[in-house]
Amino acid sequence: MPVMPITAKEINDYIVSMKDLFILDVRNEEDFKDWKIEGPEITHLNIPYYVLIDDVGQILDKLPKQQKIVVVCAKEGASKYIAELLEQNGFADIAFLEGGMKSWSEYIYQTEVYQDENMKIYQFIRVGKGCLSYIIISGEQAIVIEPLRFVNLYTELAEKKGVKITHIFDSHLHADHISGGYELSKKSNAKFYLMRSEGAIFDFEKLEDYEKIDVENISIEVLAVKTPGHTPGSVSFLINDKILFSGDTIFVHGLGRPDLGGKVREWAKDLYNTVYEKVSQIADDVVVLPAHYADFSSEVNEHGFIGNSLGNIRLLNEIMNDHSEDAFVEHVAKSAATTRPPNFENILAVNKGIKQATVEEISEYEIGPNRCAVHHVG
């Protein structure tokens, strides 16, 4: 009997439902340490393909007999071969990841976040990258925030709900993935909003020109202050004084890393002003919805989406309360010393419109971990 593939969606179902899963990752050790499939009930064993190809017997006693085993590699071929060898050695409940880690990088699922009489919000979770994107439906219009490059996600949902996409927002130029904002704006004939200071060369609506944008039954307050992250001009969006789309400025368990522009202390001071002057004025019960997360199992809430109240986030992030500017800057500068997102210069160049790339090149640029939400300050 041939070994069957398992999809990225099926693996995510294991993670979300907290089911046991054993992953044999046959990529090289460096790639495995850098980025892997993670979940609260996942057990890993990393043995490179070249070690196993001639002698799979050396690991048979390290594998569970009564548990689902999934073999994982970069693009599928190696994992399928090793899975077949293991099946020949008596392992019945075994599969290989269809499409390899590339498919895991691109898997996205949708969940409902919020609903009241004025709006309904859906969150798109790109699990392998830790990227978060949103669509807000109000009346007959839809707003997309932090659009991913998979623009059909939004056009299909809008069509299903009988609404028209009219406004698209990026909080900043992302450094770990390609934005779908410009493409979606052309496809849907919607306005695309971005800060002028981000340096994009295509046509868009400049967020510096707006303090508030009204769409159907919602009011979008643009917190247009210089907030660090990966770029000089990040913003956040406060919706009806209830929901804060915080971009890469505030995460469930951290604050935005201010080092990708090479001005870590200068931008850390900007972050201090954002947290202590702007964000401090926002009520504790406002729900924060960020653009990224670092760890799904610890940041997903009981409702199944990534987000938390601002009050809880303040409690989780002690640095957001009663610190001097000097102490804050010192703490953040030290915490920012993490590895940068892979290929971030190419990704930023594509997002600015100054570099063209094929779909295959973009997939390669995006392969790897999310390092936008790893700047935890506690």
Q: How is 158-222 classified by DSSP, letter by letter?
A: HHHHT-EEEEEE-SS--SSS-B-HHHHHHHHT-EEEE-GGG---S--EEGGG-SEEEETTEEEEE
Q: Which stretch of DSSP H or E encloses residue 272?
A: helix 264-273
**What is the average pLDDT across 99-121?**
96
Helices 152-161 and 181-188: crossing angle in degrees, nearest 10, is: 40
At residue 348's C-alpha, the angle toward residues 144 and 105, to 5°, is 65
Quickly state the pLDDT bin for 265 (edges 50, 70, 90): confident
Name the DSSP letter for residue 358: -
Quickly state the pLDDT bin for 269 (edges 50, 70, 90): confident
Beta-carbon contacts of residue 226 (< 8 Å; ≥ 6 apart): 197, 232, 233, 234, 270
Distance (Å, whole) CA 74 – CA 28: 10
Q: Is the pLDDT of residue 226 over 60?
A: no
Distance (Å, whole) CA 200 – CA 165: 22
Q: Is the pLDDT of residue 261 over 70?
A: no
243 alpha-carbon distance from chain centroid: 18
**What is the average pLDDT across 30-44?**
92
The β-bridge relationship of strands 141-145 and 131-138 is: antiparallel
Quickly state the pLDDT bin for 116 (edges 50, 70, 90): very high
Q: Is the pLDDT of residue 230 over 90?
A: no
- Which has the closest alpha carbon to 46: 79, 17, 20, 7? 79
pLDDT tens-place string over residues 292-351: 988 887 888 889 999 999 999 998 887 888 889 998 888 877 766 556 667 888 999 999
Side chain identity at residue 250, one-letter code? I
Question: In terms of residues, how long is the chain?
Answer: 378
Q: Is the pLDDT of residue 225 over 70?
A: no
Q: Which two tokens stand for residue 61?
A: 């006693």
**What is the average pLDDT across 101-129?**
96
pTM attached to this predicted model: 0.91
Return the pLDDT at 378: 42
Q: In percent, how much of the chain has pLDDT > 90?
A: 64
- Which has the closest alpha carbon to 285: 236, 244, 322? 244
Q: Is the pLDDT of residue 377 over 50?
A: no
Dihedral (CA of 16, 22, 26, 29) sign: positive
Q: 6 forms bridges with which residues in the sheet?
A: 97
Please name each of the domains of the chain with its CATH number. 4-103 (3.40.250.10), 107-366 (3.60.15.10)
Which of 105-109, 125-129, 311-315, 368-372 comes out lowest in average pLDDT? 368-372
The β-bridge relationship of strands 108-115 and 21-25 is: unpaired
Return the pLDDT at 18: 86
Return the pLDDT at 294: 80
pLDDT tens-place string over residues 172-218: 988 889 999 999 999 999 999 998 888 899 999 999 999 999 999 99
Which of 21-25, 47-51, 257-261 comes out lowest in average pLDDT? 257-261
Distance (Å, whole) CA 161 – CA 280: 36
**What is the average pLDDT across 139-151?**
98
pLDDT tens-place string over residues 161-170: 999 999 999 9
Helices 344-352 and 359-366: crossing angle in degrees, nearest 10, is: 130
What does 26-48 look like in DSSP terms, one character per residue? -S-HHHHHH-----TTEEEEE--
Half-sphere exposure of 300 (CA within 13 A, CB side): 22
Quickly state the pLDDT bin for 352 (edges 50, 70, 90): very high
Quickly state the pLDDT bin for 374 (edges 50, 70, 90): very low
**What is the average pLDDT across 50-73?**
94
Return the pLDDT at 266: 78
* Residues annotated catalytic, as ranges: 73
